[in-house]
Amino acid sequence: MTPLGREIARLIAAEGPMSVERYIALCLGHPVHGYYMTRDPFGVDGDFVTAPEISQMFGELIGLWCVDTWQRMGAPAPVRLVELGPGRGTLMADALRAARVVPAFLDAIQVHLVETSPVLRARQAATLEASGRAIAWHGAIEEVPEGPAIVVANEFFDALPLRQFVRSPRGWCERLVGLDEAGGLAFGLAAEPEPALRLSAPEGALLEVAGASAQVMGALAARIAAQGGAMLAIDYGHAGGGFGDTLQAVRRHAFVDVLAEPGEADLTVHVDFAALARAAAGSHVLVHGPVAQGAFLGALGLAQRAAALARHAAQDVAAAVAAAQKRLSEGGPGGMGELFKVMAVSDGTLAGLAGFDSPGRHPERGPSRRIGQGDGA
Ligand code: SAH
């Protein structure tokens, strides 16, 4: 067992089985042993690769989206440029470089990074040093000073903990992490069902309730409605609803058992975009998308940017650019273009946003099917 596994087993022995939510939170965020707190997990030598690490084109296009959004907002100054969970800081560095085409944007922005990991904060500082900008770090979105904001979150919501419930003959019972007879970690179910959950579903169905994601989205939407701006969320996930266990553990580019290596493997979930839109619906905002990442990047000019990069490049560089373009935009095995989705939330004045061809909708009036706590039959 890993050191964190031993600590979690001790906690369970003392306090009883813990929620999947607490288990994920400890695995990722434990101050000493938490996965993100102790390492830089990105890249070919790490555990997984994200879009900004695949190609500079990703961050550049997001940067141009931010510039375009700022112009649609009426070019306010100052404006907060906020990134949630910036990883190595690569997306922000590429975005700031691309945004040089509009110097007034660079003059107007103040850069704020929301990051809990001290290791990754140091990495972000190193990556962004060349930008020459003052950067402010925060532990939570609520700490970002007020004012109009443009917020970007790539592969952020998939890293937030969630609760799981299983439909048993007794009702919806929370899935818990407990101990088996040998003292190892094992999944089980709470004895008592959750009275507030009354969705109808076949026995064995699993429901995920992403409370932390909803809390962050709700806070962001309230801020955007009151102070203006937009947020862009890019992540793997589904357009809404449905049942199923999406919790995965990844180490060295392969799936591993979720309970086998606490603190040593990354844990992620698929993002339920309908649930995120519902979390925004308490505020007067517009929701754009979700659209497939491939379509979004295509609309922002991925093919043109790839052609420009390849034009004067050596053959191997040109081939790498073409491969990255394919990986970011196409479906199929290894492709991110279909599995990854892009959704934006904006204040009510921003009816159109680049990359989303239809105008935003008010989430409470949107077409998405409502599922969730208390909505069922
Ligand atoms: N956006 C980056 C990294 C994605 S990994 C990229 O695309 O490469 C998830 C990031 O979110 C990491 O930087 C991690 O440390 C951070 N993170 C995880 N939980 C967080 C939380 N609760 N608050 C702030 N940042 C968090």
How far is 243 from 234, CA to CA, in rounded Å? 21
Predicted pLDDT of residue 374 = 34
Ligand 1 contact via 41 beta carbon (within 6 Å)? no
How far is the first Cα of the chain from the last one, in angstroms, to the nearest whole number? 43
Ligand 1 contact via 155 beta carbon (within 6 Å)? yes
Predicted pLDDT of residue 131 = 95
Ligand 1 contact via 50 beta carbon (within 6 Å)? yes
pLDDT band at residue 8, thresholds of 50, 70 and 90? Answer: very high
Tell how far the Cα of 84 is from the centroid of ligand 1, in angstroms.
7
Average of per-residue pLDDT across 137-157: 97
Tell how far the Cα of 117 is from the centroid of ligand 1, in angstroms.
8
Q: Domains of the chain (ranges plus CATH)?
A: 34-159+212-237+263-367 (3.40.50.150)
Atom of ligand 1 nearest to the CA of 29: 19
Residue 373: pLDDT over 90? no
Q: b/e string for 241-277 if b means 16 or more Cβ within 10 A?
A: ebbebbbbbebeeeebebbebbbbbbbbbbbbbbbbb
Identify the helix (H) or strand (E) that includes residue 315: helix 315-329
Q: What is the pLDDT of residues 11-48, one digit of tens each?
A: 999 999 999 999 999 999 999 999 999 889 987 788 88
Rg, Å, the chain Cα set: 21
Average of per-residue pLDDT across 221-248: 94
Predicted pLDDT of residue 371 = 35
Residue 364: pLDDT over 80? no
How far is 374 from 22, CA to CA, in rounded Å? 23
Q: Which of 116, 120, 213, 220 to mutate to test the pocket of ligand 1 (most atoms within 8 A of CB)?
A: 116
Ligand 1 contact via 59 beta carbon (within 6 Å)? no
Predicted pLDDT of residue 376 = 31
How far is 230 from 224, CA to CA, in rounded Å? 6
Q: Please give the angle made by the CA atoms of 51, 53 and 57, to the nearest 5 degrees.
A: 65
Q: What is the pLDDT of residues 301-333, one digit of tens each?
A: 999 999 999 998 999 999 999 999 999 999 988
Q: What is the pLDDT of residues 177-202, one digit of tens each?
A: 999 999 999 999 999 999 999 899 99
How far is 200 from 300, CA to CA, in rounded Å? 41
How far is 263 from 271, CA to CA, in rounded Å? 21
